[in-house]
Amino acid sequence: MNVRAPDTPGARRPSVSRAPRRPWSGLAGAPAAVVLMVLAGVVAEVGAAAAWWAPDVLPAPSDLLPAAARIAGSPRFWQDALRTGAELLLSCVFGVVAGLGLGVAFWKAPGAGRVFEPYLVSFYAVPLVLFYPIAIVLIGINQWSVVVLASIMTAIPMTLNTWTGLRAIPPVYLRLAASIGCSRSQTLFRVALPAAAPYVVAGLRLGVAYALIGTVAMEFTTAQAGLGYQVRYLYESFDAVGMYAYILVIVAVSVLLTAVLEIAERLLPRGRDT
Amino acid sequence: MSSPGTGVVLDDVRVEFRSSGRDGPVVAVDGITQEIPAGGFVSVVGPSGCGKSTLLSVIAGLRAATSGSVRINGRTVTGPDRDVGVMFQEDSVLPWKNVTDNVRFPLQIARVPRAGRPRLGPGHRPGRAAARRRIAQRAQEAIDLVGLGGFERRYPAELSGGMRQRVALARTLAMRPSVLLMDEPFAALDQQTRLLLGAEVRRIWGETHQTVLFVTHDISEAILLSQQVWVMSYRPGTILDVVDVDLPADRDASVVSTPRFNALHNRIWERLRTEAMRGFAQENRFPA
Ligand SMILES: Nc1ncnc2c1ncn2[C@@H]1O[C@H](COP(=O)(O)OP(=O)(O)O)[C@@H](O)[C@H]1O
Ligand SMILES: [Mg+2]
């Protein structure tokens, strides 16, 4: 039957191949990543010691790690981390809720969906960070201009993926829901959204990644605080060691987020492979 | 065997689809007036596209008829009813639930059997645990009835197509509907599995005495299972012939070699052959 998803450009197909339900399996990549990092550290150390490059370009890890430890102990770092973390969390929450809501609304009102789809899809390709100056003018130089834009960046993939996932559910699931007397909300929450879950989670992963990129990038350009701001500040004050230490922290946060989301995805009930 | 007004009564049921094509509206079901007595087992056979699924979804209350009416146990159908169980042609087992949770699902939605006492306040619902137990028990009975015992924790992806249809059957039976509507439930399965599951359905019907409407395009399956076969025509979908199956009630697959079975088969096939040809000719009138 015609259960194929209508192709929405930009919406990601979920990465489904999770027959066995072991959340940690497939994270075998983690040790490999650690090995690779250690290797890169050794190369950086040797390179710095042999003066293959100036210490400002890439400081030796033996300088970097103590600096990172010192930074981690400073209250300023925690202020910045807290601010970035709060921005990230708020953007994710707002973006995910808005994206879910819009995705469901477009599914229920296909007419509205068809009207907005081209805009959504083209917004996908627009570097929304460029609207940051406008957000600053409208909202001011504070965390809210960052949160608003990062929320929009999160909401777009969430909307598209939720919508695509809902359109992809086999129609017979909805007839089943009707035949056993599901209410509208039971149909949505107990049948439609679980059936669309692989798409929704794929959208969530994209959305969180976009929120992180957006938040750090906007802090980097114009802000008075935050991890991204610190990277820029230290860069402008020629503190390469401090800058790399902050970059290291941001990378660590993003790796951690990705891992958490991956585990969450694996915890979804299995057996969606058709 | 049945009192008047019980069972399923179709009164001049007609369903049109307004199509944008050149043919004008498609009349999928055209003025069908028939009756299934309570506890009766009727099969509908017809060429594909003749309106079998449409007729069934009207009886199930999932689609409104363009005109005419359906009465089930004396009540006019206006929408889905928990007393009417439906088994769909497509695989409708929910892949994110294991066997037990799939079978429990409609019971949870219906909260059947209802906890009798009213709620006394937030967090204080004396009927809840008892209701959960009853749901679990009912689901287990249905699982055992269809021979799925031991597979309770399995997920649909781990089951064969035949097992998945057993899950769908158990899910439908768990509601203990008095009317069972089955839309080519085994059409996608291999011949052996289909025979096996058909026999199961017949055995279960022998125990529960539900009113069954079984849609199929397999003449042998229709004769083997039912008390009466309705032969349906292609566009407009009407009942061409009603064939009473006068085979022994405790028949098994071996009756296919009896002369009586052959006579019934030939009668239905003669009716269907011209219809199938007509349908084929119409579908292929405008080659793409
Ligand atoms: N939603 C619909 N819109 C338009 N035409 C439909 C729709 N559903 C079914 N039809 C048409 O009605 C006819 C009967 O369909 P159906 O009841 O599914 O047949 P069967 O189950 O016997 O194969 C077919 O010709 C089909 O094209
Ligand atoms: Mg059909």
Question: What residue owns the CA closest to ligand 1's atom 14?
Answer: B51
**Domain segments of chain A: what residues?**
61-266
Query: Does B199 share its domain with B164?
Result: no
The pLDDT value recorded for residue B96 is 93
The pLDDT value recorded for residue A102 is 94
* Among B189, B220, B227, B230, residue whose Cα is nearest residue B87: B189
Helix or strand holding residue A259 (H, E) = helix A240-266
Residue B159 lies in a domain: yes
- Cβ atoms A216, A228 nearer than 8 A: yes
Its pTM surpasses 0.90: no
- Give CA–CA dist B125/B104, Å, rounded: 20
Q: Which of A178, A181, A191 sits opposite B110 (nearest CB)?
A: A181
Q: Name the domain count of chain B.
A: 2
Predicted confidence (pLDDT) per residue in A76-115, tens digit: 888 888 888 999 999 999 999 999 999 999 999 888 888 8
Tokens 């439906």 sit at which residue? B86
A53 vs B135, more confident: B135
Residue A213, amino acid: I
Residue B89 lies in a domain: no
Q: Which of B62, B94, B175 sits opposite A173 (nearest CB)?
A: B94
Domain that holds residue B113: 95-176
CATH 1.10.3720.10 for domain A61-266: yes
Flag whether pLDDT at A233 surpasses 50.
Answer: yes
Query: Does B163 share its domain with B206?
Result: no
The pLDDT value recorded for residue B121 is 53
Q: Residue B142's CB: how many other CB atoms inside 10 A?
A: 23
Query: Does B154 share its domain with B195?
Result: no
Query: Does B120 share its domain with B201?
Result: no
Residue B90 lies in a domain: no
The residue among A1, A176, A190, A270 with the most chain B CBs within 10 A of its CB, best to mutate, is: A176
Indicate the pLDDT class of residue A128, thresholds 50, 70 and 90.
Answer: confident
Burial (CB < 10 A; 0-12, 13-18, 19+), residue B270, is: exposed
Flag whether pLDDT at A27 surpasses 50.
Answer: yes
- Give CA–CA dist A16/B124, Å, rounded: 42
* Interface contact B57-A175, CB threshold 8 A: yes
Residues 6+ apart with CB under 8 A from B255: B224, B247, B248, B261
**Tens of each residue's pLDDT in chain B, 288 residues:** 445 557 899 999 999 888 766 667 888 888 889 999 999 999 999 888 888 999 999 999 999 989 999 999 989 999 899 899 999 989 999 999 999 999 999 999 987 444 444 455 555 556 788 888 889 999 999 999 888 999 999 999 999 988 999 999 999 999 999 999 999 998 888 888 888 889 889 999 988 889 999 999 889 999 999 999 999 988 788 898 899 998 888 888 888 889 998 999 999 998 888 776 776 677 666 544
* Residues of chain A contacting B, Cβ within 8 Å: 1, 19, 170-173, 175-176, 178-182, 186, 190-191, 194-195, 197, 268-274
* Interface predicted TM-score (ipTM) of this complex, two decimals: 0.88
Written as six digits, the tokens of A149 are 């834009």
* Interface contact A175-B62, CB threshold 8 A: yes
In whole angstroms, what separates CA B146 from the centre of its chain? 16
Flag whether pLDDT at A16 surpasses 80.
Answer: no
Query: Does B204 share its domain with B285?
Result: yes
Residue B88 lies in a domain: no
Which of A6-20, A204-218, B156-170, B270-284 is predicted with the least confidence, judged by mean pLDDT?
Answer: A6-20
When the pLDDT of each residue in chain A is averaged and rounded to a whole number, the result is 81
A44 vs B88, more confident: B88
Question: Which residues in A lie closer than 8 A to residue B80 (C-beta atoms)?
Answer: 178-181
- Cβ atoms A203, A191 nearer than 8 A: no
* Interface contact A179-B80, CB threshold 8 A: yes
The pLDDT value recorded for residue B125 is 59
Which regions of chain B does DSSP assign to beta strands (E)? 8-17, 26-36, 41-45, 67-72, 75-76, 84-87, 179-183, 211-216, 228-232, 239-244
